[in-house]
Structure 1
Amino acid sequence: MIPNLKKGYLLLAILVFSGFGYSSLAQVTKIRGRITDSETKEPLPFVNIAFKGTTIGTTSDFDGQYFLETRTPSDSLHISFVGYKEQAFIIQKESFQTLNVELKPEAFDLEEIIVTPGENPAHILLRKIIAKKEDNNPSRFDSYQYESYTKMEMDLNNIKDDFKNKKIMRPFQFVFNYMDTSVITGKAYLPVFITESLSDYYFQKKPKMEREVIKASQMSGIKDNASLAQFTGKLHQNVNIYDNFIDLFNMGFVSPIADGGLRYYKYYLTDSAYRDGNWCYHMSYKPKRKQEPTFVGDFWVADTTFAIQNMQMRIAKDVNLNWVKDLVSNNEYQKLNDSTWFLKKQNLFVDFMISEKDSTKQMGFFGRKTISYKNVILNQPLKEEVIKLDNNVIVEETALTQSKTYWDNARPFTLSERESNIYSMVDSIQNVPLYRNIIDVIQTFVTGYYVKGKFEYGPYYKLYSFNEIEGNRFMFGGRTSNEFSTKIMFNGHLAYGDKDNKLKYGLGFLYMINKLPRETFGVQYKHDIQQLGKSPNAFTEGNILSSLLKRNPNNKLTMVNQLETHYEKEWSQGFSNTLKFRYRDITPTEYVPFKAPDVSEGIPVSGITSSEIELRTRFTRNERVIMGEFERVHLGGPFPIFNLYLTMGMKNVFGSNHEYQKIDLSIEHTVELPPLGNLYFLLSAGKLFGKVPYPLLHLHEGNETYAFDPYAFNMMNYYEFTSDQYVSLFVEHHFNGLILNRIPLFRKLNWRTVVSGKGLIGSLSDKNNGSLPNTQAKMIFPDGLSDVSKPYFEASVGIENIFKFIRIDAMWRLNHLEDNPYQDFENFGIRAMFQFTF
């Protein structure tokens, strides 16, 4: 189970910002406003705004808007623009203020000039930047290492007086003393979470290797949680503006200096000046078309080396991106020698919106992050002890217990009083009884379990369901909570059907031998109904949704007695083995009969008993994983996931009478193809050696509900196809709005197209083919079950992002369309699912 909802939400927040960061500069000098022409009232872009006596400045955007914030004390703001009178304004230190400025045109006589056509100088400069990208790209180094400091903050914004005055908020009135105002949006916000980490990062190109050692980590409201600390460092935040596409929230945004940048952006050369001793050019850019994944912003580029010195990017206003109202990023680079530039600071600010309604009236969230770099070492061999580290991310034993003095010395800047107080504020919130009650309700809804002391009751979605075998099914179950133990978890359930009048039950435990790297041992026994031939993603038996969304009678269930033990060992991050012993006693029903062959219609068989050992090997690299006290959720990564299953069925073990061997292999991966979207594929193959009854063959994954199942053949029924050797391929392409964004009537809906195709081919040896006349198989196939020597195909076209979380697919079964009196299948169908994506 995930440790608790609070930690789960905070981890989600951390993962959301696994891109790169924007600093939360909190109680500093903050100024925002708009620059316009005093006569025409038109906005003025590219106006220079800077704090007097500092090198901290910016330029107004294409709407004349600007924002600035600094920790460096300054008492005045200087504004200048060619053709207008310069102005200076007195400002208040360490406060937020709005300063709208009207610039007065400067009157002067111009001599006659001759204008001749020529190429936009910004285009000339851009081509030079692109030509030197390989020389300036950090990925060109054979190796590098540095120390990084990362800070993230989450804030609740748009808090109105009527919300503060609600009765439910009375116990929390003290938190509103921590309110602040965003310089970027002008919205008031309340900090609710802050996390900091200090780490040493190592990179090697050949063979490619990344390691991060987190030396210090702290989070508001969470103590001593190394599984969360692993996500607070730098390793999960690889973003490089020198790449052609920048991955933000699973969408490939076109970099402003992409090789094909001129196809997506308009560029403007606006200024040149000395910056930190280097002659630099200033360029601004904006998208050519609406709703494409692009930015608007500006950058400074150094002369001669044409390396980016500073780049600011803000997502275009109409980008098809869910839940995000605004996003601003900044990348600042430092010069290490005459020709080498490297990151100095990366920043991210995100304005999340909960509703599509007026974002100025609805509450939402800010996310802020800053990453600072120092002690950069290039092209030096990594130490042997670093290379030998077992995991990509190592959290040192002392990382979670560093002192205040350590943190004060480690930070590249001093936290403001408001930032520092977030830690104590969150602790105070957690002590309010009403807060704990609200968390309990939400946690029950999200996890399915109601936590009460040392026990968790649930899952609630299995309390009642119905099917043709059991009639009305009632279930009560639960598991021990983390309050009981974080080393061992017991679980169990009881169920009863009013049609078959039979009691079902299950009992088991999971023991955590070690968390990092993961090592577990567990035992699980069940006497309950099962749906053989369903995918691992399908609704579990007893789920009320499987009853409500069925498209055929739910009668192909089988009673199974199953005992399973397992030992899991993670050798290194992404590489693990799981050894299982599985005993099963499968009992037939009137809908799923077991019959041995004879000269007539077969001899009824009372059941099938099997005992098998299974060894699973799982391998991938640089994968992100959410880890709770007992459970873990794999989030994938940049490399394919390989799974190999070796299974041996043993005769005369606990009454088993079948001897066989199986091998199954799968490769799963999502390939990013910006700007065309992303392509997911799952390639599987398997072979069984031996003679077995059909329930022990590979029953191919059907789906008899109206819910879309990514891991099943959605137009195939249960018990329709089986094989003892097979190859299958699932392919799905998400266009991320590429098509519908170009259709005026659909553009504002932010819908996205998705297409998929699934194929399967397999065969059955004669000794296992129970559909043959005078078969030599151990068991006759039930009516409607056959081999798949003739390939099976299905395809779909769908629309996702309907209301942001609904996907609907139109699906076609492409072959095996012949009438089958024993299989009620569809040639065309509609399937739907809930999915939450950005």
Structure 2
Amino acid sequence: MKKILPFIFVLSAFFISSAQTRISGIVKDETGTPVPFANVVFLNSSEGTTSNLQGQFYLTSGKYQDSAEFSYVGYETLVIPLKKGDNLNLKVVLTEASERLSEVTIYQGKTSKTNNPALDILRKIWENKRDNGVNKFAQYQFRKYEKLEFDLNSVDSSVIKNPIFNGMEFIFDNLDTNKVTGKAYLPIFINESSLKVYGDNTTGKKRVDLLGNKNSGFNENQNLIAMVKDIYDDYDIYDNYLQFFDKSFISPLSTTGINNYNYVLKDSAYLGNRWCYNIQYYPRRKNELTFKGDFWVNDTTWAVNKINLEMTESANVNWITGVYIEQEFEVLNDSVFLITKDFFQADFSFQEKEGSRGISGKKTILYDDYQFDLKKPSEFYRKEVVEFQKEAYTRDDDFWIQNRMEPLSGQERAVYKMIDTLQTVKAFKRLYNIATIAESGYVEFNGWDFGPVFSTFGYNEVEGFRLRAGGRTYFGQNDPWRIQGYGAYGFRDQKFKYGILGSWLLDKKSRLIVSAGTRRDVEQLGTSLTNSTDVLGRSLASSSLINVGDNDKLSELNLSVISIEMEPLLNFTVRVSGSFRNLKPASPGFSLDYYVNEARTQTSTEIDQAEISTIINYSPGRKTSSYGVERTVVNGGDFPTLFLSYSLGVKDVLNSDFDYKRLQFFYDQPIFIGGFGKSNVSMEAGKTFGAVPLGLLSVVPGNQTYFALYNSFALLNFYEFVTDTYVAVHLEHNFNGRLFARIPGLRNLNLREIVGIKGVLGSISEENKRLDASGIPLIAPNDEPYWQYSLGVGNIFKFLRLDAHFRGNYFDIPDARKFGVTATFGFHF
């Protein structure tokens, strides 16, 4: 099986949020003021929680509880009897203790930024943070044990009796109770890793060796393992921002934390033999990416000894109802604190209401065997292109007994057997097939897949209604070869279209791949400045049911390509290809004509062109899974991309029409700007040397649809600008709701504001203008750069983004559009 995460989310949709005992309500004092951070526990149990900033609480237990205890420093402890089942909307009033402390203060408003001892301690942490942990040493190495687990939560008798689980009732034999939320949960997926980590702080190099990996039922599924791990990026609490779920949360230890958090010096005590201060923190404003919790810090090294972080209820994040982080540190040689345990839990749900159904994802990392200042040669840190070690995924039980740093619980051990059994159940297979089709778009068969099903239907003015069917060979994610293709039929032009591509991995170490394919289809040229010889790329023309203006400039493309590529260095690929294409107009009245004689009396309507291309692509930081001919990128959009292409048009080869040279450059860079959101910057530049017709020129990509197209210009029509030399820049920034969070009436909608600006400067030679006989005005933005800007609102209903686009200049061009709106659909955290 290729993936199981879609199945987990399908299952979660059927859960009903109920448990043996549920309690909820609000804690107040005698004046009616909410009491935040009050302790709420079931009596004589370890199941508990704390009230939030508004004094609200929610707690569940997988078994019957007869009483709940409420306490807060300076107040009398209150025990309330509970009835069986639900005890919701409780009103809990705490009274001041008769023998209380000399002064009790409940902190819920904004604390002082000046006369606050907690802030003095925080500044000491900033001053000393680089003197703690592995950063203090030139070199370091340690062992690391990592456990990832997904649980189905809010499981009760009504869930178990749901007809969807007919034939799968045995999975509920392993129910447990979550120590953080108190919800009854069912472990359904577990992954264990044993690793050895090496680092050199003098060079900034790091190496991680996977010693062993084991997961429930899917031992060799690197796609699944990599995607699960990528959900939880590594983070350091001393950093200003903690990044996960594609968001930058403000750390309570951040140097900008004073502007985002309230800090209270709550206590001081010995932890072990170390005197430590306890600081409680909570956010200054709602709807920001912040936490609440507390941490203990040593009074001499100013190192954090223990910290917990809980995402605030109002944080602008989709599908996440809770995040809880807990880290523990131990002292080394009386001076340096090193992390020993890192626990991370996230609760996913389709609903946001209290006690909603969903999934809990938990990550536990344990560290030991620290060693320092053992220098390794630079070659030791050189990363291999292919690092997969099959033996690491097939370790025996003795290996795990020796390398687990904490034993599995009985429920966790049972998951391994339960998943193996589950895969033989027909009911499970049906659910899995539905989820896989929804996630990948392919219907799985033995050895091949049918799809993608989402491309089955299309429409354009040339083909009319279009029907498409495709497929690919698939024996496993590490297939050394793959053949894929499609066929399509247009009911208006009554023509059959097709594409087929075969790829073979000849050498795993260098990723030497040979590919060959051919494609004949109707295409909208000029939707990208950067050349593409993608044989199976989806034609933009096939989705042109809704357009701005007439979509009457479609072409008929017949393309054949053979290529060889290799990856000599990690994420650095070199590709050499030879292609031959035939281009001719497909739309009535559209022309690609060019003159074929000096007197400009004879024209040709078709282009035959042979081309040799060399492409270099570098994507530092890209993470991939599997090691076959195709790989899955697991952190798409989080790494820079550099593309450089040199193409040579060869005349007379296969009756090719033109000699030319083309140089193109593309650079894309995502930039995380801490609490201010995420920017994306891209630049394209290119030049064609030699005379070529319209079909081979660089058309500035317009967009006449109502949907956003990457790096296109939403207010340009197709073929509005045509160049042979160009430079284009695209800038976009997503504030992730930081501005709207400060506006009353908008903050609770969790909308996200996006701004963008883009421009292009280009020219076209007189030689190319003289060659053209198409009748289309060849206009280039050479007097001044064409530019436009946009204002957008994202996260509308959690899946819709709308952008309003405004044209900056060139208003005198016929049919120039001054304003437009595009929509983008997607599910994002």
With the shorter chain as reference, the TM-score category is 0.7 to 0.9
Picking from 557, 562, 566, the partner of 1:560 is: 557
Q: Which residue of 2 aligns with 1:733?
A: 733
Give ranges in structure 2 of 5+ residues lacking alignment: 12-20, 61-67, 80-90, 105-111
- Contact kept in structure 2, 1:229 and 1:395, CA below 8 Å: no
Deviations 1:317-340 (A, max 9, x none): 111111111111012112122221
Cα deviation for residue 544 of structure 1 reads 8.8
Q: Which residue does 1:418 correspond to in 2?
A: 411
**Distance in structure 2 (CA, Å) of the matches to 1:798 and 1:64:** 36
After the TM superposition, which residues 58-73 of structure 1 pair with which residues of structure 2 at under 5 Å, given as runs? none
What is the match of residue 327 of structure 2? Answer: 331
Output the amino acid matched with 1:493. Answer: Y
Aligned mates of 1:353, 1:732 — CA distance in 2: 30
Tell me the equivalent position of 2:194: 198
Map 1:606-645; keep pairs closer than 5 Å. 606-627=605-626, 630-633=630-633, 635-636=635-636, 640-645=640-645
Match of 1:94 in 2: none
Residue 509 in structure 1 maps to residue 508 in structure 2: no
2:653 match: 653
Say which SS state the counterpart of residue 708 (structure 1) adopts: coil
* Cα displacement (A) at 1:65: 8.9
1:249 Cα deviation (Å)?
A: 1.7
* 2: CA distance, partners of 1:699 / 1:181: 60
How far apart are 1:554 and its partner, in Å?
3.0
Aligned residues: 785
Q: Which position in structure 1 is the counterpart of 2:763?
A: 763
Amino acid at match of 2:773: I
Q: Report which stretch shifted further, 34-43 or 303-312.
A: 34-43
SS of residue paired to 2:703: coil
Once the two structures are TM-superposed, the CA of residue 752 in structure 1 deviates from its matched residue by 0.7
Three-state SS of the structure 1 residue aligned to 2:655 is: coil
Mapped to 1, the partners of 2:590 and 2:257 lie a distance apart of 61
What is the alpha-carbon distance in structure 2 between the residues aligned to residue 684 and residue 10 of structure 1? Answer: 41
Alignment of 1:253-272 (within 5 A): 253-272=249-268
Does the aligned pair in 1 maintain the 2:473–2:482 contact within 8 Å?
yes
Alignment of 1:393-404 (within 5 A): 394-404=387-397
| 1:377 positional shift | 2.4
Distance of aligned partners of 1:803 and 1:519 in 2 relative to their CA distance in 1, 3 Å threshold: farther
Residue 279 of structure 2 is matched in structure 1 by 283
Q: What is the aligned counterpart of 1:580 among 577, 580, 588? A: 577
Q: Residues 422-473 of structure 1: CA distance to partner in whole angstroms, max 9, x if unpaired?
A: 1111122221112222222332233332223333223333333222222333
The reply on whether 1:273 has 2:274 as its aligned counterpart is: no
Which residue number in structure 2 is paired with residue 185 of structure 1? 181
In structure 2, relative to structure 1, the CA distance for the partners of 1:602 and 1:799 (3 Å cut) is farther
Cα drift, residue 214 of structure 1: 0.5
- 2:520 maps to 1:521: no
Quote how far apart the aligned CAs of 1:207 are: 3.2
> Which piece of structure 1 moves more, 271-280 or 801-810?
271-280
Change in CA separation of 1:670 and 1:384 when aligned onto 2, cut-off 3 Å: closer
Equivalent residue of 1:296, what SS? strand
Offset, 1:737: 0.4
**Partner residue, 2:665:** 665
Is the aligned partner of 1:749 residue 2:749?
yes
Letter of the 2:557 counterpart: V
CA contact (8 A) 1:505 1:528 kept: yes
Residue range with higher mean Cα deviation, 135-144 or 759-768 = 135-144
Asked if the contact 1:793–1:815 (Cα under 8 Å) also holds between the matched residues in 2, the reply is yes
State whether structure 2 residue 828 is matched by structure 1 residue 832: no
Q: TM-score, normalised by structure 2?
A: 0.86
> CA, structure 1 residues 166+582, in 2 after alignment: closer, same or farther (shift >3 Å)?
same
Shift in Å, 1:531: 1.7
1:176 counterpart = 2:172: yes
The match for 1:718 is: 718
Partner residue of 2:86? none
1:264/1:438 CA distance change after superposition, 3 Å: same
After superposing the two structures, state which structure 1 stretch, 529-538 or 288-297, moved more. Answer: 529-538
Distance 1:576 1:565, change over 3 A: same
State the distance in 1 between where 2:206 and 2:10 align: 23
What is the distance in 2 between the residues matched to 1:139 and 1:808?
44
Q: Percent identity?
A: 32
Amino acid at match of 1:373: Y
Change in 2 beyond 3 A, CA 1:496/1:375: same
Checking the alignment, whether the CA contact within 8 Å between 1:522 and 1:566 is kept in structure 2 is yes
Amino acid at match of 1:191: P
Q: What is the Cα deviation at residue 84 of structure 1?
A: 6.2
Which position in structure 1 is the counterpart of 2:779? 786
> In the TM superposition, what whole-angstrom CA distance separates every residue of 1:373-427 from its partner, at most 9, and x where no partner exists?
1122234323455223425x94434210111111111111111111011111112
Q: Does 1:407 align with 2:400?
A: yes
In structure 2, the CA distance between the partners of 1:255 and 1:38, relative to structure 1 (3 Å rule), is closer
SS in 2 for 1:745: coil
Report if the CA contact (8 A) 2:28-2:55 is conserved: no
Per the TM alignment, residue 801 of structure 1 is displaced from its structure 2 partner at its CA by 0.4
Match for residue 300 of structure 1 among 296, 299, 315: 296
Establish whether residue 449 from structure 1 lines up as the match of residue 442 from structure 2.
yes
Change (3 A) 1:185 1:110: closer
Q: Distance in 1 between matches of 2:819 and 2:56?
A: 53
CA contact 1:37–1:104 (8 Å) conserved in 2: no
Cα deviation, residue 176, structure 1: 1.4
1:206–1:549 distance in 2 versus 1, CA, 3 Å: farther
Change over 3 Å in CA distance of 1:588–1:105 after alignment to 2: closer
- Indicate the residue corresponding to 2:368 in structure 1: 374
Return the letter of the residue paired with 2:417: S
Query: Structure 1 residues 500 and 307, CA, compared in 2 at 3 Å: closer, same or farther?
Result: same
Asked whether the equivalents of residues 33 and 101 of structure 1 are also in contact (C-alpha less than 8 Å), the reply is no
3-state SS of the aligned residue for 1:809?
strand
Which amino acid is 2:822 matched to? R
Q: What SS does structure 2 have at the residue aligned with 1:737?
A: coil
Is residue 667–residue 684 contact of structure 2 (8 Å, CA) maintained in 1? Answer: yes
| Pairing 1:83-162 to 2, within 5 Å after superposition | 83=74, 107-108=98-99, 119-136=115-132, 138-139=134-135, 141-162=137-158
State the match for 2:432 in structure 1. 439
Q: Tell me the CA shift for residue 780 of structure 1.
A: 2.6
* Root mean square deviation, CA, Å: 3.9
Deviations 1:689-744 (A, max 9, x none): 22222211212222121101132111112222221211110000001101111111
**Other structure's SS at 2:647 match:** strand
Task: Give the superposition deviation at 1:475.
Answer: 2.8
Q: CA-to-partner distance for each residue in 1:209-252, whole Å, 9 max, x for gaps?
A: 22211000011121323455556779973211111121132222
Distance 2:340 2:59 in 1: 19
- Deviation digits for residues 232-286 of structure 1 (CA, Å, limit 9, x no counterpart): 7799732111111211322222211211222211111111111122111111111
SS of equivalent to 1:193: strand
Query: 2: distance between equivalents of 1:689 and 1:386?
Result: 45
**Partner secondary structure for residue 406 of structure 1:** helix
Match of 1:482 in 2: 475
Counterpart-to-counterpart distance in 2, 1:229 and 1:724: 46
Task: Determine the C-alpha separation between the residues in 2 that align with 1:66 and 1:450.
Answer: 45
Distance in 2 separating the partners of 1:342 and 1:235: 24
Contact 2:471–2:484, Cα closer than 8 Å, also in 1: yes
Distance in 2, matches of 1:38 and 1:707, equals 54
**8 Å contact from structure 2 (residues 309, 325) kept in 1:** yes
Decide whether aligned partners of structure 1 residues 214 and 530 sit closer, same or farther in structure 2, where only a CA change above 3 A counts: same
- Report 1:350-365 matches (<5 A): 350-356=346-352, 358-360=353-355, 362-365=356-359
Residue in structure 1 matching 2:810, options 802, 812, 816: 816
Following superposition, the deviation at residue 112 of structure 1 comes to: 13
SS at match of 2:317: coil
Alignment partners' CA distance in 1, 2:632 and 2:431: 25
Name the aligned partner's letter for residue 821 of structure 2: I
Quote how far apart the aligned CAs of 1:757 are.
Answer: 0.9
Distance 1:603 1:322 in 2: 61
Q: Could you give the per-residue CA deviations for residues 158-215 of structure 1, whole angstroms, max 9, x where no partner exists?
A: 2354443232221111111122222222222221111010111122334332221100
The offset of 1:40, in angstroms, is 8.0
Q: Which structure 2 residues correspond to residues 203-222 of structure 1 after superposition, within 5 A?
A: 203-222=199-218
